[in-house]
């Protein structure tokens, strides 16, 4: 018995029969720095869930990530017993075509659907499949294949992103991914992930679990910097403090980029704990100036962001546009509020009723959904797909772009904001009396050494007054802390300048589209001896109640 797990086929971020150009396969360039030109980050992120699934089942498994349609057809000739397709709603047409090809080229293969796309209403009549995984996937596959449900969870070692470029210059893949849990206890009514998983399901339940995985990364891959996939990482406070204790006891210095709610950050108390833990980036859902969500109740966002940034912790603030409270005045009050906080990054996210969420159910009941918008256009980077009292669909697209432009003009290029925050962290740690905080200096110094190479190119391409002001402040701080530029700094700086000019011309003359290369890995299987020696993941031996429906088969006429 064999299994193929695959993401949908490319190309991505282009207008064709299967998708739209706005649906880029790049998180930052698509949703955060999209209007910042040459300063926009260009990273691709692998389908981490597929690698995690493959690592935790016994069946021999191959993972095909970012395939072309031709490459996918070639893989079907191997005759897998099961083929799992992971997709989101805007990629529905691609998943449907892949299912059709499976039936044609590998008719004996059973089709398993996974990802948020499985929540599309009436999907059983829209495409062909055998099983549908709604929710957590590891226990779904283990039960489907008759494997041990209480087998320990093994965390794969994967880079957090690849094909990385900043201003056209290659940026090393120097960080790993940590998937500490899925779902979220807050369950905001618009949030697709928290509704999809039903509740928070921890994979790494203790600080020791996380620490051990981090040590494996360092010993096997030389990685000490991590992106954490967890909706609210610090919510399990004892787990976080347990990790910190182990790091300091064993003198292991890791750094983390995390998601967190404001309420959770406040519950931590002394924010120096975050510095000691190595938190260098936090994504916070501001959502609105108004206290619409309990997670933000009584939060002084200006103070919170100021305290984080002075400690060298970069902040990404997300804001919801086109909520029920928004008209053409109040929407700008929210945009003005979030940009006034001075975050390093801002994500403006249009309210999107995603099937499976309470928001979708409410809008479906109230007749607010625009029924003729195809799924490939429901990507959240263009027009809304519901009726709003104050905005037409065309207006929503323009307002979204203007919001990103407003942040860029007001706060400057995100890359420069991050450099300034990193300088603040360096200065904070260097003057701190606590040795546990001061020991974080090497991280900041290493980052600042690398980012200094980007200043000449930034000077050439700075597009607005705020970016130019940031550059002057940054250069002055560099001279005070590290002295003037020497030959060893000048040579890499000239290389970055060359790459940035090349990338600028490519985007202007050809296209800014970047397609990730296909990745293929064969025969995942945890060695039996590791299964025997590993401790049970759930200390009480109980299997968690996972909100999914096993082997949900479509009715066939």
397 and 439 share one domain:
no
DSSP H helices, 56-137, are 69-76, 92-105
- Average pLDDT, integer, range 108-133: 96
Q: How many residues does the chain have?
A: 557
Res 288 pLDDT > 80: yes
Higher pLDDT, residue 290 or 345:
345
pTM above 0.85, yes or no: yes
Two structure tokens written together for 465: 């007054």
Residue 12 and residue 31: Cα distance in Å, rounded? 15
Residue 327 and residue 76: Cα distance in Å, rounded? 51
Give just the sign of the alpha carbon dihedral 388, 392, 393, 399: negative
Q: Taking the chain, what is the end-to-end CA distance rounded to the nearest angstrom? A: 29
505 and 386 share one domain:
no
Is residue 370 within 8 Å of 387, Cβ to Cβ?
yes
Q: What is the pLDDT of residue 540?
A: 31
Q: What is the pLDDT of residue 184?
A: 87
- Among the residue ranges 58-62, 147-151, 291-295, 519-523, the one predicted with the least confidence is 291-295
Residue 328 and residue 243: Cα distance in Å, rounded? 46
327 and 271 share one domain:
yes
383 and 320 share one domain:
yes
Indicate whether 557 belongs to any domain: no
Indicate whether 500 belongs to any domain: yes
Indicate whether 544 belongs to any domain: no
- Average pLDDT, integer, range 375-388: 94
How many domains does one find in the chain? 3
- Among the residue ranges 181-185, 419-423, 438-442, 527-531, the one predicted with the least confidence is 527-531
Other C-beta atoms closer than 10 Å to the C-beta of 125 total: 9
Identify the CATH number of the domain in which residue 48 sits: 3.40.50
190 and 216 share one domain:
yes
Q: What is the pLDDT of residue 194?
A: 84
Other C-beta atoms closer than 10 Å to the C-beta of 298 total: 8
Indicate whether 465 belongs to any domain: yes
For 100, how many CA atoms within 13 A lie in the half-sphere containing its CB? 9
40 and 134 share one domain:
yes
150 and 241 share one domain:
no
Identify the CATH number of the domain in which residue 207 sits: 3.80.30.20
183 and 236 share one domain:
yes
Is residue 47 within 8 Å of 7, Cβ to Cβ?
yes
Indicate whether 420 belongs to any domain: no
144 and 228 share one domain:
no
In the numeric block, the tokens 């404001």 are attached to 262
Element (H, E) at 3: strand 3-6
Q: Which domain holds residue 443?
A: 429-510
Indicate whether 505 belongs to any domain: yes
Res 52 pLDDT > 80: yes
Compute the mean pLDDT over every residue in the chain, rounded to the nearest whole number: 92
Q: What percent of the chain has pLDDT over 90?
A: 87
- Among the residue ranges 263-267, 533-537, 550-554, the one predicted with the least confidence is 533-537
Residue 325 and residue 363: Cα distance in Å, rounded? 15
- Average pLDDT, integer, range 397-413: 98
495 and 465 share one domain:
yes
137 and 45 share one domain:
yes
Indicate whether 433 belongs to any domain: yes
Indicate whether 552 belongs to any domain: no
- Average pLDDT, integer, range 40-61: 95
Residue 165 and residue 216: Cα distance in Å, rounded? 27
- Average pLDDT, integer, range 482-503: 94
Q: What is the pLDDT of residue 524?
A: 52
- Which residues fall within 8 angstroms of residue 532, CB to CB, at 6 or more apart? none
Gyration radius of the chain's alpha carbons: 24
Q: What is the pLDDT of residue 523?
A: 62
230 and 180 share one domain:
yes
């Amino acid at each position: 018995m064999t299994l193929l797990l695959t993401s949908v086929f490319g190309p991505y971020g282009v207008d064709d029969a299967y998708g739209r150009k706005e649906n880029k396969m790049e998180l930052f360039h698509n949703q955060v720095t999209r209007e910042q030109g040459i300063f926009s980050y260009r990273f691709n992120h692998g389908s981490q869930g597929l690698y995690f699934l493959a690592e935790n089942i016994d069946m021999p498994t191959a993972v095909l990530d970012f395939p072309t349609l031709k490459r996918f057809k070639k893989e079907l000739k191997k005759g897998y017993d099961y083929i799992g397709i992971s997709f989101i709603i805007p990629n529905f047409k691609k998943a449907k075509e892949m299912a059709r090809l499976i039936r044609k080229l590998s008719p004996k293969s059973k089709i398993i659907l996974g990802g948020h796309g499985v929540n599309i209403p009436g999907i059983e009549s829209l495409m062909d499949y055998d099983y549908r995984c709604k929710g957590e996937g590891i226990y779904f596959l283990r039960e489907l294949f008759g494997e041990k449900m209480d087998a320990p969870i093994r965390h794969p070692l994967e880079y957090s992103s690849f094909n990385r470029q900043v201003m056209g210059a290659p940026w090393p893949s120097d960080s790993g991914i940590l998937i500490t849990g899925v779902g979220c206890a807050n369950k905001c009514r618009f949030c697709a992930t928290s509704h999809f998983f039903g509740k928070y399901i921890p994979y790494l339940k203790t600080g020791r679990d996380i620490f051990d995985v981090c040590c494996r990364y360092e010993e096997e891959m030389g990685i000490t910097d991590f992106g954490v996939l967890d909706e609210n990482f610090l919510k399990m406070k004892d787990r976080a403090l347990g990790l910190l204790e182990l790091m300091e006891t064993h003198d292991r210095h890791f750094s983390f980029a995390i998601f967190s709610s404001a309420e959770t950050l406040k519950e931590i108390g002394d924010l120096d704990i975050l510095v000691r833990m190595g938190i260098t980036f936090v994504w916070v859902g501001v959502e609105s100036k108004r206290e619409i969500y309990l997670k933000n109740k009584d939060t002084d966002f200006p103070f919170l962001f100021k305290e984080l940034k002075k400690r060298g912790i970069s902040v990404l603030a997300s804001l919801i546009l086109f909520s029920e409270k928004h008209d053409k005045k109040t929407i700008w009050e929210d945009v003005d509020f979030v940009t006034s906080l001075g975050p390093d990054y801002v994500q403006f996210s249009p309210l999107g009723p995603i099937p499976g969420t309470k928001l979708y159910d409410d809008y479906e009941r109230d007749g607010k959904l625009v029924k003729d918008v195809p799924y490939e256009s429901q990507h959240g980077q263009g027009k809304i797909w519901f009726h709003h009292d104050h905005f037409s669909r065309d207006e929503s697209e323009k307002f979204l772009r203007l919001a990103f432009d407003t942040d860029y003009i007001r706060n400057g290029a995100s890359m420069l904001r991050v450099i300034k925050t990193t300088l603040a962290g360096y200065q904070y740690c260097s003057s701190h009396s606590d040795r546990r905080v001061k020991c974080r200096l090497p991280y900041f110094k290493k980052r600042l050494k690398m980012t200094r190479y980007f200043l000449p190119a930034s000077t050439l391409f700075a597009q607005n007054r705020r970016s130019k002001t940031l550059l002057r402040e940054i250069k002055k701080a560099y001279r005070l802390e590290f002295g003037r530029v020497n030959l060893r700094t000048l040579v890499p700086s000239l290389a970055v300048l060359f790459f940035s000019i090349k990338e600028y011309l490519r985007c202007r003359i050809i296209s800014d589209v970047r397609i990730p290369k296909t990745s293929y890995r064969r025969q995942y299987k945890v060695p039996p001896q590791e299964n025997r020696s590993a401790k049970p993941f759930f200390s009480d031996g109980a299997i968690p109640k996972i909100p999914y429906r096993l082997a949900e088969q479509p009715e066939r006429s």
